Chains A and B, each alone.
Chain A
Amino acid sequence: MTTRRRVPRSATLIAGCVLAGLVLAVAVLSFFWLPYAPDDTSGDRLMPPGLPHLLGTDKLGRDLLTQLMIGARVALEAGAGSVLIGGLVGLAGGLAAGFATRWLDDTISALLDILIAFPTVLLAMLVTAAREASLGSAVIAIGLAMSAIVARLTRVLVKRVLAQDFITASRTSGTSWPRIILEHVLPNIWPTLSVNLALQFGLAVLAEASLSYLGLGAPPPNASWGRMLQEAQASVFIAPAGVIAPGVLLVVLVVGVNLIADGVRDVADPTRRRTR
């Protein structure tokens, strides 16, 4: 038996990184180079894929590839923004609930349950009504909806860590609570939490696409994949590229992110690591 410690590797992690990296590369590229200007309507209506428009054009004669590349930006921004809001708010709420007295804990839990039961679309409509239909509103709504899920998970994880003996030991040796959180609680809950956040990233990308599809996301002329799907829907039989292209990219990104989440879990959790 060899006892040499190996760097954990995961095929799913690699596949996930390749898929999501592809979308990331497209998004980064879009800042430096685009086939056409975003609002260039010089093409004909619904041109099929070919030259000079690789993926064809939309109803207004805009280049589909250009729209798609900008859409990658929007999708990643939406995912990252939502995870940032959802992660921070959720972590804060979860920590508060985890450390709280019984009474406060129950109150926070009840609030979280209500928030989780609230459909994201309804939440988005409320945020949109209070602000305006924009990518920012959509991200806030998705982030808020996500924060409830993150908070509930964090609360459970925190409680589990706090019940451990080493915390009691730390406490009796006079360590302050903030230090315990930083040194013991966060490092212990992070592996599980990060996997969950990665999964939430994928869901947030889908949520943003759905909201934009419903007209609650980025307003025109911003190209969001959801908006592109909605605009191309009526012409799906005569110009399928308009629906297929953003649809495929959505799948690539979401599957990629989910594979990363799975991979991270495999790597981080020794019990799930497969022996070869």
Chain B
Amino acid sequence: MNSKTTSLIGAALVLALALTGCGSGSSGSAGSSASTGGAGATAAYDPDATIEIGSLYEPQNLDNTAGGGQGVTEAFNGNVYESLFRLTDDGKVESLLAKDHTVSKDGLTYTFTLRSGVKFHSGKPLTSADVKYSIEKVTGPDSQSARKSSLSVIKSIDTPDDSTVTVKLSSKSISLVYNLSYVWIVNSQAKSLTTTEDGTGPYTLGTWKRGSSLTLERFPGYWGTPATNKQVVFHYFTDATALNNALLTKAVDVVTSEQSPDALANFENNGDYKVNNGQSTTKLLLAFNDRKAPFDKVLVRKAITSSIDNKKLLSSIWGKYGTLIGSMVPPTDPWYEDLTTVNPYDPNLAKKELAEAGYGSGFSFTLDTPNYDPHPTVATFVKSELAKVGITVNINVITADEWYTKVYKNRDFAATLQEHVNDRDVVWYGNPDFYWGYDNPQVTKWVEQAEQSDTADGQTELLKKVNQQIAADAASDWLYLYPQIVVASSSLSGYPVNGLNSQFYAYGIKKSGGRG
């Protein structure tokens, strides 16, 4: 009896297995023929594809004026929200929601004409009132936007009709149009923008699973060219190794920004992936406290700059990637110049400069070092380089929060390491109250004049002077410019490769073939 039952069950199992085998075989072959047929019949890409994006930067919240952080810029800028102007991937400013704009003769009044037929995701048409509301949201007292001070020249905003916005300035500001490319145009009636959105972009927000992913869906009522994919999913990782593994196992199609060159070995010379070496705007600074001895002496700062072999440092951290710039200006800014020769790597020169400054027998200082990569490694290198010219470095490892309080707010530091991510941020050297305390009235004046110039050429010329002067004064030591490495599956095209201010336009991404 018992053995009979067992053999019956056995037979049933064999049968079931055979049936499943047949089933999966036939459905498998049907599936594959359908997919090759589909790929051959339609265009080179799948317009209804889902693009899986891997990123290390999850938004804190969904409002960029409420401390949403780099993550919300990456996911939403240009994708969900649009501005009057767009900063393209190669650093140019184009009209977007503004069809047209005129500037008065004195340069103090800007008149913007809005594009017609633009609708918010909620269905409400875009009007000038929304633009006024959006700009005031950035400049308002509650705003935590990094752009707040750049827009403080705005005196008043008028809306003579639904499609016209007039902005009056208290002084001329040639960067206004550029700065407006960071102002998201938000529906003035929208509520709870830290968890929802109402923008005009090519995507609407699908779901946001905190700690995991954020989904964008193509918006059918978009005014412009629709996105070349149906859905975009940002997958958030806290660990770069896990992120790379996700790309290797094809859980994600593209990584927005690689943080170490070592994982790239898996993707280089691999036909399934493309490694894109783009331009970033992130500079790693050894920032001195220029107010405090001995760093109030130009010669001491120059000596330190000349003691550190930035080329070796860059190759230690980034292998063959990254760029030396010798100043604060990255190549994507219009006023870029290669200034690496101003304070060349030359320990003998450094020793001479130190002796001349009265520190021939060296000195010691504390280097406040953020505890995340690459800062501790860089600090180790700096310590070893400066030891060769008689300077002792005490490395003090601190958290990002401590850095903000101790260094940025209280200016209680001698020197620090920090990455500065923004483009066009050389102008901060014109502010003597900034944390590094560089105070050169001439530079402050040039920065002010540059902002008030009538032409872009005039602005460029003055900011070049600023850049040369801060390099000559070794206001900080600009160790290197980060590379921007986007690694993507080779089935993807049309993604941005330059990480300007960490934006990542997804609407042009095309995915060929398909995994369904």
Contacts and interface: CB of A to CB of B under 8 A. Distances in A.
Interface of A: 39-41, 45-46, 59-61, 132-133, 215, 219-221, 231, 233-235, 237-239
Given A60-B377, A219-B376, A219-B397, 19 more contacts: A39-B384, A41-B384, A45-B315, A46-B262, A59-B316, A60-B316, A61-B312, A132-B396, A215-B376, A220-B376, A220-B397, A221-B379, A221-B384, A231-B377, A233-B241, A234-B260, A237-B265, A237-B266, A238-B265
B387 interface: yes
8 contacts: A39-B380, A61-B312, A132-B397, A219-B397, A220-B377, A220-B380, A221-B383, A231-B377
Given A45-B315, A61-B312, A238 B380 contact: no
Given A39-B384, A45-B316, A234 B263 contact: yes
Contacts of A41: 312, 316, 381, 384-385
B324 interface: no
Nearest to B394: A219
B189 to A, nearest CB: 45
A237 B261 CA distance: 12
A27 B241 CA distance: 32
Interface string B153-167: 000000000000000
Given A59-B316, A60-B316, A235-B262, A133 B395 contact: no
Contact of B380 (A46, A221, A233): A221
Given A39-B384, A41-B312, A61-B312, A234 B240 contact: yes
Which of B241, B266, B380, B385 gathers most chain A CB within 10 Å? B380
Question: Taking chain B's interface residues, is the majority helix, strand, or loop, or is none over half, making it mixed?
Answer: helix
Which of A40, A220, A234, A235 gathers most chain B CB within 10 Å? A220
A61 B380 contact: no
A215 B397 contact: yes
Nearest to A133: B397
B381 A60 contact: yes
B319 interface: yes
A132 B262 CA distance: 31
Interface in B248-295: 260, 262-263, 265-266
Interface in B303-323: 312, 315-317, 319
A231 B396 CA distance: 18
A78 B377 CA distance: 22
A120 to B, nearest CB: 19
Contacts of B316: 41, 45, 59-61
Interface string B360-386: 000000000101000011011101110
A133 B402 CA distance: 13
Contacts of A132: 396-397
A237 B265 CA distance: 8
B503 to A, nearest CB: 26
B387 A39 contact: yes
Given A39-B383, A41-B384, A234-B260, A219 B395 contact: yes
B245 to A, nearest CB: 11
Contacts of B395: 219-221
Contacts of B319: 45
A220 B376 CA distance: 6
A238 B380 CA distance: 22
Given A45-B315, A133-B397, A220-B377, A215 B371 contact: yes
Contacts of A235: 260, 262
A233 B242 CA distance: 12
B51 to A, nearest CB: 26
Contacts of B315: 45
B383 to A, nearest CB: 6
Contacts of B385: 41
Which of A41, A46, A59, A132 gathers most chain B CB within 10 Å? A59
8 A-B pairs with the lowest CB-CB distances in the bound complex, closest first: A235-B262, A39-B384, A221-B380, A234-B260, A220-B380, A220-B376, A234-B262, A219-B397
Nearest to A231: B377
Contacts of A46: 262
Contacts of B381: 41, 60
A233 B262 CA distance: 10
B397 A40 contact: no
Nearest to A134: B397
B286 to A, nearest CB: 15
Contacts of A39: 380, 383-384, 387
B412 to A, nearest CB: 15
Contacts of B265: 237-238
A268 B379 CA distance: 49
A221 B369 CA distance: 12
Which of B262, B263, B387, B396 gathers most chain A CB within 10 Å? B262
Contacts of B369: 220
Given A39-B384, A59-B377, A238-B262, A133 B371 contact: yes
B6 to A, nearest CB: 48
Contacts of A231: 377
Contacts of A237: 262-263, 265-266
Contacts of B396: 132, 219
A45 B315 CA distance: 8
Contacts of B383: 39, 221
B376 to A, nearest CB: 5
Contacts of A239: 262
Contacts of B241: 233-234
A228 to B, nearest CB: 12
B218 to A, nearest CB: 36
A231 to B, nearest CB: 7
B352 to A, nearest CB: 23
A60 B380 contact: yes
A41 B316 CA distance: 10
Contacts of B376: 215, 219-220
B298 to A, nearest CB: 27
A220 B240 contact: no
A138 to B, nearest CB: 13
A39 B371 CA distance: 20
Nearest to B374: A59
Nearest to A44: B315
A31 to B, nearest CB: 20
